[in-house]
Structure 1
């Protein structure tokens, strides 16, 4: 056998595996977004379901909404199939939680925020996936900024300043724009450093889909607040 033929063959196989991984990760992330959109619409048009998210029991789905990402990522490498199922369940719960926005914002505002989020996410995900520049430092800085933003949000809960909250929304968009690019690159590198087994690849794809889904969701929330003027339904 000609040894000179082995290197190109390995490179081609690696590219094929990477493309399959990226297709799986982004495909599952897109499916989660679709499920959330369908769930949000269905819950917002079904009073019985809506009461779960706006009535006395509203805290239960919100608590589950915050806890689920840790369960999904924690089980991804151990039980990939279960983790994928939980990701889809989480997407449905998120849709239910987001149905409350239909009581605050107009349909035009919701659509504008969603389309803007999708365009911004796609651009930054493509950049993060294909750029040769190391974005790990950008991701670390964005994560630090996110922690600071969360602390500032808690402080503003007592100040109740709409102007400060409005400024925070712009900062949030910048942070999650950077995180989208860095997370896309990070998941690509994690796959390339993995053993390439089916279970490992599936688990990493679930983790990536979960992380990128959260990036998109937060982009949507902050853009919705900017477009909607914080509670202006007109």
Structure 2
């Protein structure tokens, strides 16, 4: 079962020497994550090159919210059903989500300056890279931090929904800073779980390895994208 690969083993937090299958698995995880980010950025940039197209999308609120709901359902379907789908289906679903996210996020190119988008991306990459490195190398069990971050994430989601109707400035910034802390913590936690998973990987079932790599890439992709959007609220300069 896929979920069993994420169970905690106290012996996994000591010294760690990756074998060839494990290195290959980790390369797949980060490779798919980076490909997803590139696809999202490429589609967002392509749409932003036609401002009228983006403005039309933003004005059609029903379509825009439909895309957001579609994204959510696609993530839930991929995360919950990856064990039952083929590796090809999992790959297409992940890349489809990244592409769809590029469409949804295209509006930020019209709201923020390119310089602030680039500087925020660099800040996100540095933060993500540092926390991912920490999660990979630390001997500390981050399960308690991960559980706390997941609970706090629900607070961020609920707070964000409430503020859609209330539009309170204090709540906006509270959700922003709490969200940054949550995704910083989740980056380290998810990386440790992926490292943990890699220790049980063998190259005997390439289809299963591909699906697990896609699942790991999705988690890290979501951590990166959400951290970027929250940091953009702070460092982004509006046009």
Query: Normalising TM by the smaller chain, what interval?
Result: 0.7 to 0.9
The 5 Å alignment of 1:72-111 reads 72-77=78-83, 78-111=85-118
Structure 2 alignment gaps of length 5 or more: 1-15
Q: Which segment is superposed worse, 208-217 or 13-22?
A: 13-22
Give the distance between the partners of 2:43 and 2:163, measured in 1 at CA: 31
Question: Following TM superposition, by how much is the alpha carbon of 1:142 offset from its aligned partner in structure 2, in angstroms?
Answer: 0.6
The 5 Å alignment of 1:66-215 reads 66-77=72-83, 78-193=85-200, 197-215=205-223
Match of 1:43 among 44, 47, 51: 47
Question: Following TM superposition, by how much is the alpha carbon of 1:52 offset from its aligned partner in structure 2, in angstroms?
Answer: 5.7
Structure 1 alignment gaps of length 5 or more: 1-11
Do structure 1's residue 23 and structure 2's residue 30 form an aligned pair? no
Match of 1:55 among 40, 54, 59: 59
Do structure 1's residue 219 and structure 2's residue 227 form an aligned pair? yes
Give the distance between the partners of 2:173 and 2:161, measured in 1 at CA: 14
- Other-structure match for 1:233: 238
Please give the per-residue CA displacement for 1:9-58, whole angstroms capped at 9, x wherever unaligned.
xxx99611111110000010001001111111001112464256323232
- Largest Rg, 1 or 2: 1
Give the distance between the partners of 2:93 and 2:110, measured in 1 at CA: 27
Question: Secondary structure in 2 aligned to 1:233?
Answer: coil
Please give the per-residue CA displacement for 1:121-170, whole angstroms capped at 9, x wherever unaligned.
11111111122111111100110111122222233333311232123211
Question: How many residues were matched structurally?
Answer: 220
Give the distance between the partners of 2:208 and 2:195, measured in 1 at CA: 13
Give the distance between the partners of 1:18 and 1:131, measured in 2 at CA: 18
Contact 1:113 1:227 in 2 (8 A): yes
Give the distance between the partners of 1:50 and 1:153, measured in 2 at CA: 23
**Following TM superposition, where does structure 1 have runs of at least 4 consecutive aligned residues deviating by more than 4 angstroms?**
none
Contact 1:73 1:83 in 2 (8 A): no
TM-score computed with the length of structure 1 as normaliser = 0.86
Match of 2:38 among 27, 34, 38: 34
Question: CA RMSD of the aligned region, Å?
Answer: 2.1
